[in-house]
């Protein structure tokens, strides 16, 4: 799905209203907005190919996000494992939010299981897998 971008921190700006009040306003970084928009567009295109599934999903879900980055000349921990920034949790959060905006699921609180992986590869990309979870049967 393209170059992986992590969820950027919103910057708080103080703005003066016409009435003289000062109000805070959060501004999301442009790279974050751009990648989230790209993920949402790709998700909507994928949803159009699914004729059986009704969107937005409103059931327990699991998500897996694999982010592939170009390998530096001297990776710290081997040839494939990426143990440097950006944080995997921020990569996952951006994808979760973008899929909600795209209308894939009603709310990202429906995600019960979530994993991310960061790897080095020849081609930078993001792979997203989302599936329904069945109720776990417990003895007791």
CATH of the domain at 69: 3.30.1330.70
Residue 137 lies in a domain: no
> Would 127 be classed as within a structural domain?
yes
| Predicted model pTM | 0.80
Among 135, 133, 87, which residue's Cα sits nearest to residue 114?
Answer: 133
The structural domain count of the chain equals 1
Question: What are the tens digits of pLDDT across the range 40-65?
Answer: 999 999 988 887 778 899 999 999 99
pLDDT at 139: 52
Query: Residue 137's pLDDT is what?
Result: 53
The pLDDT tens digits of the residues spanning 20-46 come to 888 887 888 888 889 899 999 999 999
Which tens digits make up the pLDDT trace of 96-133?
A: 999 999 999 999 999 999 999 999 999 999 999 999 99
Please report whether residue 95 resides in a domain. yes
Is residue 3 one of the residues assigned to a domain? Answer: no
Q: How far apart are CA 57 and CA 68, in angstroms?
A: 27
Residue-range definition of the domain harbouring residue 23 = 11-132
Half-sphere exposure of 106 (CA within 13 A, CB side): 6
């Amino acid at each position: 799905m393209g170059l992986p971008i992590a969820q950027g921190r919103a910057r708080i700006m103080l703005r003066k209203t016409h009435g003289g009040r000062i109000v805070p306003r959060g501004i999301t970084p442009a790279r974050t907005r751009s990648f989230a928009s790209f993920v949402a567009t790709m998700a909507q295109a994928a949803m159009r190919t699914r004729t059986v599934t009704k969107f937005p999903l409103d059931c327990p879900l699991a998500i897996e996000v694999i982010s592939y980055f170009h390998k530096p000349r001297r990776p710290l921990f081997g040839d494939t494992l990426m143990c440097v920034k950006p944080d995997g949790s921020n990569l996952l959060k951006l994808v979760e939010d973008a899929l909600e905006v795209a209308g894939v699921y009603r709310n990202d609180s429906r995600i019960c299981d979530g994993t991310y992986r960061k790897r080095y590869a020849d081609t930078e990309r993001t792979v997203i897998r989302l599936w329904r979870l069945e109720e776990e049967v417990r003895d007791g």
